[in-house]
């Protein structure tokens, strides 16, 4: 068995990491500048008439459970019933809709509910995550 001994005359080699650190900071600055921090929670359709405002009345609310059911005032409804409910409840006002999403609910179902509310004439649709 041979034992390798370091040569006392050899020089210790150093790795210069300062260019690497510079590159990491440059990348960090690039990604911070290039990232857009937009927090859009709801969908509001664009209208030609900008004088319309959303009413101060409480919004219609729909709940999406984790099992995939849609509730309105505690009773189960079908996806096809959302647009007529929004249309009849707005009665000429600018109606807003609140979609309460519980943990475990499918994002696709929430999107469908929002689309149906917009088809029914809602002027603004907001999502609200609910706690367990």
**pLDDT in single tens digits along all 132 residues of the chain:** 566 666 666 677 888 888 899 999 999 999 888 887 666 566 666 655 545 554 567 788 899 998 989 999 888 999 898 988 888 886 656 678 889 999 988 888 988 999 998 888 888 888 888 876
Tokens for 23, please give them.
């590159």
Tokens for 105, please give them.
């609910």
Return all residues near 81 (Cβ < 8 A) that are at least 6 apart: 72
User: Per the domain annotation, does 95 fall within a domain?
Assistant: yes
Give the domain extent around 119.
63-129
User: Per the domain annotation, does 102 fall within a domain?
Assistant: yes
Tokens for 80, please give them.
């096809």
Q: Could you give the number of structural domains in the chain? A: 1
User: Per the domain annotation, does 42 fall within a domain?
Assistant: no
User: Per the domain annotation, does 90 fall within a domain?
Assistant: yes
The angle that helices 82-90 and 107-119 make with each other, rounded to 10 degrees, is 40
């Amino acid at each position: 068995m041979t034992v390798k001994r370091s040569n006392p005359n050899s020089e210790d080699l150093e790795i210069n990491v300062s260019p690497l650190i510079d590159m990491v900071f440059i990348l960090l600055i690039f990604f911070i500048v290039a990232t857009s921090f937009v927090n859009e929670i709801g969908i509001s359709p664009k209208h030609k008439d900008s004088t319309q405002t959303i009413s101060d009345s409480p919004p219609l609310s729909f709940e999406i459970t984790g099992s995939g059911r849609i509730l309105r005032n505690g009773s189960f409804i079908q996806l096809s019933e959302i647009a007529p409910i929004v249309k009849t409840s707005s009665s000429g006002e600018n109606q807003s809709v609140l979609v309460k999403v519980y943990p475990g609910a499918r994002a696709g179902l929430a999107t469908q509910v929002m689309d149906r509310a917009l088809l029914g004439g809602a002027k603004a649709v907001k999502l609200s995550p609910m706690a367990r």
